[in-house]
Amino acid sequence: LYDLAFLLMDLEHRELGDFANVVLNRYLDLTGEDDGLPAMPLFLSSRAAIRAHVTATVLERTAGSGSRPAMAAEARRYLDLSAQYLRARSRRLVAIGGLSGTGKSTLAAALASSLGARVVRSDVIRKQSFGVALETPLPPAAYAPEASHRVYETLRRRARDALEAGYSVIVDAVSLKPEERQSFAAIAAASAVPFSGLWLEAPAATMERRLRVRRHDASDASPEVLAQQLQQDPGAPDWVRVDASGGAADCLAAARRALALG
């Protein structure tokens, strides 16, 4: 993570924070090194301070150069960024639920950069828990009730830990059971951060079509899995219902309105 911090810091220095968020989430999904998140602000601050020091050192050795004012400003920007990483940030917990094929993961990834959030996804955690690559299909036994219970336990733990590490969190999971949805709100309350739940909805035919064309994804959901979900009663979700029947841009716009992101 300390090595990764250099790349993330440089991206943010160049005002490419969206890409930094994508890289961080992808790295953690592939490695499972979420336990290192509490150290990331220090790592990022150290990397920015090193850049400030190097830039200032080069500045001292560039006597009479017309580039000195620009280099001095650059060093100051790195130093300001270093200090910024050590300041407490606003945090929130957003949970995105809904049946397979509603577009939860697409929405979570799109929202993450706006919030600077760690996305904790049940599909990724399940693959990590069985020690397989994210795109490797798992047998039906991996989706037995006891296995799913363990996945949601890990999901909740990682959400809590990321919040404690100073990050906003997006939970990406079907969350069909009322107690699963309630548990995420409880985590936010215990961490003293705002909570928002988004429940994505789309016609069954739309969800099935999306599942049929899905490729190279951590989810193993199929039209058959969707059919089973449709037979279950999720209760009456008290989360904000979001129409996910259209394109990803429309869903994102609706979600941003629900979250007061403009």
Please list the residues that pair with 117 across neighbouring strands.
Answer: 168
Question: Which value, in Å, is the radius of gyration of the alpha carbons in the chain?
Answer: 21
Is pTM beyond 0.95 here? no
Phi first, then psi: what are they for 171, rounded to 5°? Answer: -95, 125
**CA–CA dist 224, 29 (Å, integer):** 26
Who's near 81: CB < 8 A, 6+ residues apart? Answer: 9, 12, 13, 48
- Region 251-256: mean pLDDT is 96
- Residue with the two structure tokens 């994210």: 134
pLDDT digits (tens, 9 = 90+) for 127-162: 999 999 999 999 988 999 899 999 999 999 999 999
pLDDT score of 182 more than 70: yes
CB 192 within 8 A of CB 92: no
Output the pLDDT for position 71.
84
94 beta partners? 170, 196
**Angle made by CA atoms 175, 103, 130, in degrees to the nearest 5:** 60
- Reported as a single tens digit per residue, the pLDDT across 25-37 is 999 999 999 999 9
Q: Which overall architecture, per CATH, does domain 93-258 show? A: 3-Layer(aba) Sandwich (3.40)
Q: At 215, is the pLDDT very low, low, confident or very high (cuts 50, 70, 90)? A: confident
